[in-house]
Amino acid sequence: MSVLDLARPDIRAITPYSSARMEAQGGTVLLNANESARSPNVPGGEGLNRYPDPQPRGLVETLADLYGSTSERLLVTRGSDEAIDLLVRAFCQAGQDSIAISPPTFGMYAVCARVQAAGVIESPLDASGKLDPDALLAAVTDTTKLVFVCSPNNPTGNLVELATIERLARELQGRTLLVVDEAYLEFSGTRSAASLIDDFDNIAVLRTLSKAWSLAGARVGTLIARAEVVALLRRIIPPYPLPSPCVDAALAALSYEGRRVQRHHVHELLNERARMARALATQPGVREVLPSHANFLAVRFDDAAGTYRRLLAAGVVVRDITRYPGLGDALRITIGTGNENDRVLAVLGAGA
């Protein structure tokens, strides 16, 4: 059995759109894509009259190197949000199939499933906030096509051990695709599940330049999976997902100098995360700071709503996560610069 047998048969049979840029490459007089022959008269506009490469080779190869994979196993997407959507649409038949998630977790898995009219099976994190692999496996049904595991998890910050991911992949082989969302992996110092793709054809890993690479505004995500999964998703991804200025920004961020700066920023963030975790734990009204492997801290308060309002009144916007199961008293605070973090502490230290 191939992992593609899990995908929607109608998607496997679809004739993909064939864009002008894909059909003919090379040449110097480009009259095949109904573009303007003139660059726009805007700052940085040189060349923007042309459609971008659908999957720019230079960026794909650079990302393959960064993530320890190969070009044919990579799909570059408009943020990992787009990869989640593509996976759900390619694998879940509307009104029939389902995904499985472990809430509290990133909201887009369920949103994409609902947009596709797919079911959402929930297997909550256990009382200590850890993923429960036995419960998750027991929750999977014959119609479950995708199991989403977020590690480090948003919004709790907990990590799922690679051994647990390997066990899930093994037990789900031939039944579902295991999607491991590693948006925050760089802050955890742990190995990527991409290393398991050689052994398991049913793993897809999501990475992004939005967090540790400071490029949320450029929308550059990567899906890493077996080549046949990547080829399937390429059939349904819109023709030109990556704007050329975003590709240029990504390549600059991933240059030798860019990587040096990135390492420095991640190092600084980890120091600030440790400082904030210690300092927050001693603030009045703080019940618990959840251990985090990401670039944020989930913090339980005696009065989460009041704390949210006080921070907001001081100009500090944090994320209210009280709607998530098990987090009814919690706020999620992204780690900012040293000064920004000091402002959080100053507001909390001033008391109610």
- Name residues whose C-beta falls within 8 Å of residue 122's C-beta, 6 or more positions apart in sequence: 100, 101, 102, 103, 139
Q: At residue 248, what are phi and psi to the nearest 5 degrees?
A: -60, -40
Binding flags for ligand PMP, 220-239, as an x/- string (CB under 6 A): -x------------------
Q: How far apart are the C-alpha atoms of 317 and 314, rounded to whole Å?
A: 9
For ligand PMP, the closer of residues 26 and 217 by Cβ is: 217
CB half-sphere exposure, 266, CA atoms < 13 A: 19
For ligand PMP, the closer of residues 220 and 304 by Cβ is: 220
Q: Which stretch binds ligand PMP (CB under 6 A): 63-71, 76-84, 278-286, 344-352?
A: 76-84
Element (H, E) at 76: strand 74-78
Under the binding rule (CB under 6 A), the answer on residue 103 touching ligand PMP is no
Under the binding rule (CB under 6 A), the answer on residue 97 touching ligand PMP is no
Q: How far apart are the C-alpha atoms of 202 and 191, rounded to whole Å?
A: 18
Under the binding rule (CB under 6 A), the answer on residue 79 touching ligand PMP is yes
Under the binding rule (CB under 6 A), the answer on residue 307 touching ligand PMP is no
CB of 293 to ligand PMP, least distance (A): 12
CB of 250 to ligand PMP, least distance (A): 12
For ligand PMP, the closer of residues 216 and 305 by Cβ is: 216
For ligand PMP, the closer of residues 80 and 202 by Cβ is: 80
DSSP state of 264: H
Alpha carbon 343 to its chain's center: 28
* Residue whose CB is nearest to ligand PMP in the complex, by number: 79
- Exposed, middle or buried by CB within 10 Å (0-12, 13-18, 19+), for 7? buried
Which residue has tokens 């240059």? Answer: 255
Pairing of strands 119-122, 296-301: unpaired
Among 21, 81, 224, 341, binds ligand PMP (CB under 6 A): 81
Ramachandran assignment for 95, one of left (phi > 0), alpha (psi -120 to 50 degrees), beta (any other): left
Under the binding rule (CB under 6 A), the answer on residue 80 touching ligand PMP is yes
CB of 127 to ligand PMP, least distance (A): 22
Measured in Å, how far apart are the chain's first and last C-alpha atoms?
61
Under the binding rule (CB under 6 A), the answer on residue 183 touching ligand PMP is yes
Binding flags for ligand PMP, 259-298, as an x/- string (CB under 6 A): ----------------------------------------
Under the binding rule (CB under 6 A), the answer on residue 327 touching ligand PMP is no
Q: Are 122 and 101 in contact (CB under 8 A)?
A: yes
Of 244, 261, 245, 241, nearest to 253 by C-alpha is 261
For ligand PMP, the closer of residues 80 and 192 by Cβ is: 80
- Name residues whose C-beta falls within 8 Å of residue 26's C-beta, 6 or more positions apart in sequence: none
Window 195 to 224, contacts with ligand PMP (CB under 6 A): 208, 210, 216, 221
Window 153 to 182, contacts with ligand PMP (CB under 6 A): 154, 181
Residue numbers at the binding site for ligand PMP (CB under 6 A)? 79-81, 106, 150, 154, 181, 183, 208, 210, 216, 221
